[in-house]
Structure 1
Amino acid sequence: MLPLDGRRAVLTGAAGGLGTLLAARLRAAGVHVTGIDRIAGTRCNETIVSDLADRTALAALADRLADRHVDILLNVAGLQYFGPIDEQGVERIALGYAVNLVAPAALAAAVTPQMIARGDGQIVNIGSVMGAIPFPYFTTYSSAKAGLKGLSQALRRELRGRGIAVTHVAPRAVRTGFNTPTIERFMALTKMTADAPDGVADRIVAAVERRASDISIGLPERLFAQLNALLPAVVDRGLAGQITAARSLFAR
């Protein structure tokens, strides 16, 4: 594992439950952490207040990051919608894709030139197991996270041989404030496993230290993702119970 001491990281979603834990761990490892969120992150060395869903603000942020030294970009910020897609509305659909996929791509594009010039750097994208196993009623979130996984793979191939690592980490459900009461009820009905955020933060930092490529948290989820890639009809049948549980929550 490479030492992180003295590295300079940019962390989106720094004020969130997982982002706060990551900022604390990175700083403990000697990393200077610049947090990005709509409010100041309490565990960061400094915070840039910005709205990743606002196209003008995102462009200004990208320009700002292009002009500063960034060793590690961690795209952690995310939005999750649980419910029928027809009840989400155009604005919330656009918002989800903007934060979950457009912003990571734009910020990666902003910092790669300097990383290429130095021959060193790392881009870390926090996806979801739902990107590999698209879940019903998490339709836009699943598809955005699938896009983030694709972005990570394509960017890794594009930057191969330039000294830049592209790390994609796919957690399963995490016990944070990210989960709404309805999601909590769904998880209870389906007995969905939810990991403690501290453990997930530890896994992400370890992946950063190892400059890992793809990390998927949870052995059953990894196997299910492989099955979904090979035999999606089998997974369709396997998710029948989750679909029934979700529909019961929305009375449809």
Structure 2
Amino acid sequence: MQLNGKQVLLTGGNGGIGKALSAILREQGAHVTVIDRTAGENTRVTNLADADELDALCETLKVQRVDILINLAGLMYFGHLPEQSAAHLSTMLTVNLEVPIRLAQAVLPGMLEREEGQIVNIGSVFGSLAFPHFTTYSATKAGLKGFSEALRREYAGKGIDVTHIAPRAVKTPLNDAKIEELHRRTSVTNDSPERVAKHIANAIVHKHKNVAIGQPESFFMRLNALLPGVIDRALVGKRDIANEILGSYKA
């Protein structure tokens, strides 16, 4: 796909990955509109967790040309499941899962009318390799993966391409001190936002269906699908490390 002149809508575009991705897409001639809570270049400031603001955005998108929708915005929670507040859980479910679905609903009619369009959902390896203490985050990313697969099959042959991309750990402000310590103690590799952005841009241009970034994570995702018990046992030790870290940060 040639990106020159394409109208791109990117949620979470003012974050680490988003800024790097916007720059790449603009270099290739795309017109990128960013949806973010913070102001930035060509940004529509929107709180996607606010029902009224989300409704207003969807109404706008129904009459606005969008050639490529990139659902990047997301929230993370690392902690014991009972300690996640109901408010934070609700916001995470909205931003990580409801928002991509709602935005896809809004742009699909126009794409179908033009018989061309691409929806790109940025998930996580945790969507296929669920990690203890990232329980609700893993659940939302698994849901996004399922949505992407079903959507692709629903509109096969209609000119709509659906791309799902699963990065591994990325060095962004989403990683607080506890997560950084977990990564260090479990030897997790953190990719740079720039590296991830390049993978996303490449997947868009080549219309890839499913992309998992990084090894050995990609291998373990496939192994988990075949032998989940093996992964269960492998992650018990990491769970215990996470318990130690979470305990050490309690007030």
Q: What is the TM-score with the length of structure 2 in the denominator?
A: 0.97
Matched, 1:53 2:52: no
In 2, Cα distance between equivalents of 1:39 and 1:67? 24
1:154 to 150, 153, 159: 150
How far apart are residue 41 of structure 1 and its match? 2.6
Matched, 1:239 2:235: yes
Partner-residue secondary structure (3-state), 1:35: strand
Do 1:190 and 1:241's aligned partners in 2 also have CA atoms closer than 8 Å?
no
Q: What is the TM-score with the length of structure 1 in the denominator?
A: 0.96
Do 2:120 and 2:204's aligned partners in 1 also have CA atoms closer than 8 Å?
yes
Moved more, 105-114 or 176-185: 176-185
In 1, Cα distance between equivalents of 2:107 and 2:84? 33
How far apart are residue 147 of structure 1 and its match? 0.2
Per-residue Cα deviation, 1:64-104 (whole angstroms, up to 9, x for no partner)? 11111100000000100111111111111111111000000
Q: Report % sequence identity.
A: 50
Partner of 1:179: 175
**Which runs of 4 or more aligned residues in structure 1 lie more than 3 Å from their structure 2 counterparts after TM superposition?**
none
Q: State how 1:27-176 maps to structure 2 within 5 Å.
A: 27-42=26-41, 46-176=42-172
| 1:244 alignment partner AA | D
Per-residue Cα deviation, 1:114-145 (whole angstroms, up to 9, x for no partner)? 00000000000000000000010000000000
How far apart are residue 3 of structure 1 and its match? 1.1
Do 1:83 and 1:138's aligned partners in 2 also have CA atoms closer than 8 Å?
yes
In 2, Cα distance between equivalents of 1:134 and 1:222? 13
Matched, 1:230 2:223: no
Q: Which ranges in structure 1 are unaligned for 5 or more consecutive residues?
A: none
Q: Which ranges in structure 2 are unaligned for 5 or more consecutive residues?
A: none
2:212 to 200, 216, 228: 216
RMSD: 1.0
Do 1:20 and 1:41's aligned partners in 2 also have CA atoms closer than 8 Å?
no
Partner-residue secondary structure (3-state), 2:118: strand
Per-residue Cα deviation, 1:173-208 (whole angstroms, up to 9, x for no partner)? 011112111100110011111111111100000000
Matched, 1:203 2:210: no
1:190 to 172, 186, 190: 186
Aligned residues: 248
In 1, Cα distance between equivalents of 2:189 and 2:19? 22
